[in-house]
């Protein structure tokens, strides 16, 4: 249950380095400011305050239509603190705290907001700072008790000074969201952010690494296996995609989502030490908002192949090719050994073996070569 919280979104700046008005830059079908407003709305936060300044006449109607409150800061040219103070002064008196997120940091996942909110515990006096790979980012969650001190700050100071003075009341909360560190200060940064936003449902390589280090600290053997499966899965996908003789009749798609394959392969065993680890990993990833990755990971032990060769079959087969940290295309003996070790599970093991053989035949047809040739 998310406590009663608000969100303050400073959007008053001149966008001088960007040379375009950042709040209204396109982010898919929405503007940047609408994306940030919807981020908080999707987490159940309704008291959302957007502080305007430059071009406020253009921005305020869009903010109001999106369901947020627009607050004008007439002194917007003096710096960010004035806008923060304008927003903090109007935070709902019922709120226990507020998120502070500048409008040019829009590529943050709802799961990140929810996990930060869940870390905000009674008596609701602690500052919660999101941390990706030990670097603090946005948005901080600031307790309402600090609002009077924020409003009393000298205009020449900055909020960071106040937050630093509260070290004994800070929690650095790890998140697996690189968007917490990404802003749209320049055109190049905006392009990177837009690409990130378009693929929000798939963790990138750095985010996968963050998850692996958090869930499997010191587990070098499992981590090596994950990296190997990802490398093999990528090789399989590229061979299928690059087959010059591919036709519409070839079993398998012309294109596969290699980022999806990479993420699922890297994360398929993150709950390896738990019972029913595939299902456990699937639930964990779904809670982070990675639904497509979660579906592949949840099925990587027992799979019923579909009509088409998809990312799910690629990850499943790559996992079966990797024996620990070694690639072993002669997997028949391993299945035989597993039946001897667990005779009660013979039916399930035989099904996995038949599925593996079936997928191998389809991959070889789609790639136009044998698995042994493909892996060379």
pLDDT digits (tens, 9 = 90+) for 181-238: 999 988 899 999 999 999 999 999 999 999 999 999 999 999 999 999 999 999 999 9
Q: Are residues 169 and 242 in the same domain?
A: no
Question: Per-residue confidence at 253, pLDDT binned at 50, 70, 90?
Answer: very low
Q: What is the pLDDT of residue 252?
A: 43
Q: What pLDDT, on a 0 to 100 scale, did the predictor assign at position 60?
A: 96
1 falls in which pLDDT band (50, 70, 90)? low
Contact 313, 359 (CB under 8 A): yes
Would you say residue 373 has pLDDT above 60? yes
The reply to whether 54 and 155 lie within a common domain is yes
CATH label of the domain that carries residue 357 = 1.10.3210
Query: Could you tell me how many residues make up the chain?
Result: 376
Question: Is 11 in the same domain as 65?
Answer: yes
Q: State how far the alpha carbon of 322 is from the alpha carbons of 76, 163, 317, in Å.
A: 58, 48, 9
**Res 2 pLDDT > 50:** yes
Whether residue 26 sits in one domain with residue 63: yes
Q: Count other Cβ atoms within 10 Å, centred on residue 261.
A: 25
What secondary structure, in 3-state letters, does 53-107 show? ECEHHHHHHHHHHCCCEEEECCCHHHCHHHHHHHHHCCCCCCCCEEEECCCCCCC
pLDDT digit string, tens, across residues 105-129: 999 999 999 999 999 999 999 999 9
Give the residue ranges of DSSP H helices in the chain.
32-41, 56-65, 80-88, 110-118, 147-151, 159-164, 187-198, 205-215, 220-241, 258-267, 277-287, 291-298, 311-321, 332-341, 346-367, 371-375
What would the pLDDT profile of 289-312 be if each residue is shown by its tens digit?
999 999 999 988 888 877 789 999
Tell me what pLDDT residue 303 has.
Answer: 83
Same domain, 56 and 28: yes
Query: 246 pLDDT band (50/70/90 cuts)?
Result: low
R_g (Cα) of the chain, nearest Å = 25
Q: What pLDDT, on the 0 to 100 scale, is given for residue 215?
A: 96
The residues pairing with 161 across neighbouring beta strands, listed in sequence order, are: none
Whether 69 and 123 share a structural domain: yes
Give the range of the structural domain holding residue 260, as residue numbers without chain letter: 205-375
Burial 231-246 (b: 16+ CB within 10 A, else e): bbbbbbbebbbebeeb
194, 212: one domain: no
**Is 149 in the same domain as 181?**
yes
Q: Cβ(137)–Cβ(44) under 8 Å?
A: no
158 and 298 fall within a common domain: no
Residues 6+ apart with CB under 8 A from 45: 2, 5, 6, 7, 99, 113
Q: Give dist(CA 316, CA 144) in Å, integer.
A: 49
| Residue 250 clears pLDDT 70, i.e. is over it | no
Q: 187 and 333 share a domain?
A: no
Predicted pLDDT at 247 = 54
Q: Look over the chain and give the mean of its residue pLDDT values, rounded to a whole number.
A: 91
Q: Which two three-digit tokens encode residue 74?
A: 């007439």
* Widest distance between CA atoms in the chain: 77
- The CATH number of residue 94's host domain is 3.90.550.10
Alpha-carbon torsion, ordered 324, 328, 332, 338, to 10 deg:
-10
Of 132 and 308, the one with more pLDDT: 132
What is the pLDDT, as a whole number, of residue 156? 79
pLDDT tier at 16 (50, 70, 90 boundaries)?
A: low
Residues 210, 66 share a domain: no
* The last residue of a domain, from among 163, 198, 233: 198
Q: Are 43 and 3 in contact (CB under 8 A)?
A: no
Q: Tell me: the pLDDT tens digits for 145-172?
A: 999 999 999 877 889 889 888 989 999 9
pTM of the model: 0.90
> How many folded domains does the chain comprise?
2
Out of 198, 217, 249, a domain closes at 198
Task: Provide the token pair at 149.
Answer: 């001190």
- 190 and 210 fall within a common domain: no
pLDDT digits (tens, 9 = 90+) for 34-87: 999 999 999 999 999 999 999 999 999 999 999 999 999 999 888 899 999 999
Single out the residue in 164, 182, 198 at which a domain terminates: 198
């Amino acid at each position: 249950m998310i406590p009663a919280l608000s969100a303050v979104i400073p959007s008053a700046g001149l966008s001088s380095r960007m040379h375009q008005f950042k709040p209204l830059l396109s982010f898919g079908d929405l503007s940047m400011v609408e994306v940030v407003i919807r981020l908080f709305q999707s987490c159940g936060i309704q008291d959302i305050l957007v502080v305007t300044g430059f071009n406020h006449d253009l921005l305020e109607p869009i903010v109001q239509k999106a369901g947020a409150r627009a607050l004008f800061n007439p002194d917007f040219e003096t710096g960010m603190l004035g806008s923060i103070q304008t927003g903090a002064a109007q935070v709902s008196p019922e709120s226990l705290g507020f998120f502070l997120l500048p409008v040019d940091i829009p590529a943050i996942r709802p799961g990140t907001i929810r996990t930060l909110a869940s870390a905000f515990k009674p008596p609701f006096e602690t500052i919660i700072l999101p941390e990706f790979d030990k670097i603090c980012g946005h948005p901080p969650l600031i307790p309402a008790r600090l609002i009077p001190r924020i409003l009393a700050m000298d205009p020449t100071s900055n909020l960071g000074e106040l937050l630093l003075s509260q070290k004994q009341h800070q929690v650095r909360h790890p998140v697996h969201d690189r968007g917490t560190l990404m802003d749209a200060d320049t055109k190049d940064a905006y392009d990177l952010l837009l690409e990130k936003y378009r693929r929000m449902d798939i963790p990138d390589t750095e985010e996968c690494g963050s998850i692996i280090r958090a869930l499997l600290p010191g587990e070098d053997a499992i981590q090596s296996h994950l990296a190997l499966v990802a490398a093999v899965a990528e090789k399989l996908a590229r061979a299928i995609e690059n087959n010059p003789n591919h036709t519409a009749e070839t079993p398998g798609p012309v294109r596969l989502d290699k980022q999806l394959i990479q993420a699922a392969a890297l994360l398929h065993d993150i709950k390896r030490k738990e019972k029913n680890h595939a299902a456990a990993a699937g639930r964990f990833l779904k809670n982070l908002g990675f639904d497509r990755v979660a579906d592949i990971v949840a099925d990587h032990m027992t799979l019923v192949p579909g009509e088409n060769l998809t990312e799910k079959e690629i990850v499943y087969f790559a996992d079966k090719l990797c024996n620990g940290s070694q690639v072993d295309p002669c997997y028949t003996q391993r299945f035989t050994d597993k039946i001897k070790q667990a005779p009660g599970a013979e039916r399930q093991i035989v099904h996995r073996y038949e599925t593996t053989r079936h997928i191998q035949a389809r991959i070889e047809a789609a790639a136009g070569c044998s698995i042994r040739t493909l892996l060379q």
